[in-house]
């Protein structure tokens, strides 16, 4: 291709669009479904289907530990996995801002391909649109995932009982702090990397082992752990009780949060999920998680209670208590 940047022609539907598709997209994602180059694909899925869609608008598009393409695959794959399903297929739609270097576009596409391979999903349909300069922010990606529900899964907030344990798989607040450290005006030196990763295999392993005793999976992306726990408290009309020292937090991330005046509980993650499980299997769940690369730092961070209904309460390290309230808007850095 003779172009160094994406221009409006690449979204025209004409020859330039075709070139972009043939040389980059079809070449990269080649599979029997996509190779038919039809308007859509016809696929086989056994039993119940879990479907989830998500749009990705992160800035910067390349960050320590990943890029927007990797995020777009892992994010949707994880959402399907959190339904108790094994993701099989993905749709993939780009909205590209005129001026994006082709080189960067190719890098994103390559990373989507390698991430999809890691997750074991195929891209089966897609779309590419180009918008004028200033009408987007380099590149937006939407993906929709389709997965087969695990035969032993019964994931629903309705199954959550008082006494259930809340298990978290790994270090929190990595992704948000990695992005923050590279945002214009906030740059600070750190080696914090995004935790973006796929959780479908670890989730399915837990379902193989524990089936219906796993009551809920939730990945804690935007709004962090605090937002997920608040939603659970509200949805179940029960209380959530957590302990301040009982969640995995890397030292460097803790320090960065401290300096910027941010609460790690509200910071975004891309590879962290919580499992709410029957009390009696909590330790076994932690053991299974820890045996997996994606759950090395797993720990029990709290439990479901019949007190302080609809509220999340944290027991502080010094023996006090406080409410972990839902986030109102974006978490704002404090002045001093």
Partner 1 sequence: MKYLTEYRNLEATKHYLDLIAKKVTKTWKIMEICGGQTHSLVRNGILDLLPEKVQMIHGPGCPVCVTPLNLIDKAVKLLEKGVIVCSFGDMIRVPGSKKSLLEAKADGGDLRILYSPLEAVKIAKQNPTKEVVFFAVGFETTAPANALSVLHAQKENITNYSILVSHVLVPPAMEAILDDEFCNIDAFLGAGHVCAIMGYEEYFPLVKKYNIPIIITGFEPLDLVQGIYMAVCQLEEGREELENQYSRVVKREGNTAAIKVIQQVFKVGNREWRGIGEIPNSGYIITEAFKAYDAELKFQIEDITAPESSMCIAGEILRGIKKPFECPAFGKTCNPSNPLGAPMVSSEGACAAYYHFSSNEII
Residue with Cβ nearer partner 1 (46 or 330): 330
Among 254, 285, 295, 302, binds partner 1 (CB under 8 A): 254
Interacting residues of 22 by C-beta distance below 8 A, sequence separation 6+: none
> On the CB side of 219, how many CA atoms lie within 13 Å of its CA?
29
Beta bridge partners of 149: 85
CB of 239 to partner 1, least distance (A): 9
Among 204, 205, 261, 283, binds partner 1 (CB under 8 A): 261
Residue with Cβ nearer partner 1 (53 or 316): 316
Tell how strand 312-315 and strand 239-243 pair up.
Answer: parallel
List the end-to-end C-alpha distance of the chain, in Å, as a whole number. 51
Does 238 help bind partner 1 (rule: CB under 8 A)? Answer: no
CB of 241 to partner 1, least distance (A): 10
Residue with Cβ nearer partner 1 (43 or 317): 317
Does 255 help bind partner 1 (rule: CB under 8 A)? Answer: yes
Does 296 help bind partner 1 (rule: CB under 8 A)? Answer: no
Does 258 help bind partner 1 (rule: CB under 8 A)? Answer: yes
241: enclosing H helix or E strand: strand 239-243
CB of 42 to partner 1, least distance (A): 43
Q: Could you tell me how far CA 181 lies from the centroid of its own chain?
A: 19
Does 133 help bind partner 1 (rule: CB under 8 A)? Answer: no
Residue with Cβ nearer partner 1 (32 or 333): 333
CB of 330 to partner 1, least distance (A): 9
Residue with Cβ nearer partner 1 (285 or 324): 324
Among 36, 103, 133, 322, binds partner 1 (CB under 8 A): 322
CB of 136 to partner 1, least distance (A): 17
Stretch that binds partner 1, among 95-103, 114-122, 169-177, 181-189 (CB under 8 A): 181-189
Residue with Cβ nearer partner 1 (25 or 228): 228
288: enclosing H helix or E strand: helix 282-290
Does 189 help bind partner 1 (rule: CB under 8 A)? Answer: no
Angle at alpha carbon of residue 60, lines to 59 and 62, rounded to 5°: 130
Token pair for 335? 């002045």
CB of 173 to partner 1, least distance (A): 14
Does 186 help bind partner 1 (rule: CB under 8 A)? Answer: yes
289, 140, 283, 116: which is closest to 207 by C-alpha?
289
Residues that bind partner 1 (CB under 8 A): 184-186, 251, 254-255, 258, 260-261, 307-308, 311, 313, 315-323, 325, 328-329, 332-336
């Amino acid at each position: 291709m003779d172009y160094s940047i994406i221009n409006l022609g690449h979204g025209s539907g004409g020859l330039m669009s075709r070139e972009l598709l043939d040389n980059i997209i079809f070449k990269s994602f080649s599979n029997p479904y996509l190779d038919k180059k039809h308007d859509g694909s016809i696929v086989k899925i056994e039993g119940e289907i879990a479907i989830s869609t998500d749009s990705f608008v992160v800035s910067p598009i390349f960050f320590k530990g990943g890029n927007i393409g990797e995020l777009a695959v892992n994010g949707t794959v994880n959402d399907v996995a959190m339904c108790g399903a094994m993701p099989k297929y993905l749709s993939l739609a780009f909205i590209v801002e005129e001026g994006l270097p082709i080189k960067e576009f190719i890098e994103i596409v390559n990373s989507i391909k390698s991430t999809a391979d890691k997750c074991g999903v195929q891209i089966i349909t897609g779309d590419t649109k180009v918008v004028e300069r200033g009408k987007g922010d380099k590149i937006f990606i939407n993906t929709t995932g389709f997965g087969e529900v695990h035969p032993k899964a019964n994931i629903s907030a309705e199954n959550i009982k008082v006494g259930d344990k809340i298990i978290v798989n790994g270090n929190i607040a990595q992704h948000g702090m990695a992005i923050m450290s590279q945002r214009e005006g906030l740059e600070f030196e750190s080696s914090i990397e995004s935790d973006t990763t796929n959780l479908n295999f670890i989730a399915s392993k837990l379902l193989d082992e524990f089936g219906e005793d796993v009551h809920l999976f939730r990945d804690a992306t935007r709004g962090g752990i605090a937002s997920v726990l608040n939603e659970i408290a509200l949805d179940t009309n029960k209380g959530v009780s957590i302990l301040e020292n009982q969640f995995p937090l890397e030292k460097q991330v803790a320090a960065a949060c401290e300096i910027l005046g941010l609460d790690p509980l509200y910071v975004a993650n891309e590879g962290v999920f919580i499992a709410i499980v029957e009390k009696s299997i909590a330790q076994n769940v932690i053991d299974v998680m820890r045996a997996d690369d994606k759950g090395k730092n797993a720990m029990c961070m709290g439990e479901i209670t019949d007190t302080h209904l609809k509220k999340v309460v944290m027991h502080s390290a010094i023996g006090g208590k406080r409410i972990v309230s839902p986030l109102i808007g974006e978490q704002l850095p404090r002045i001093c």
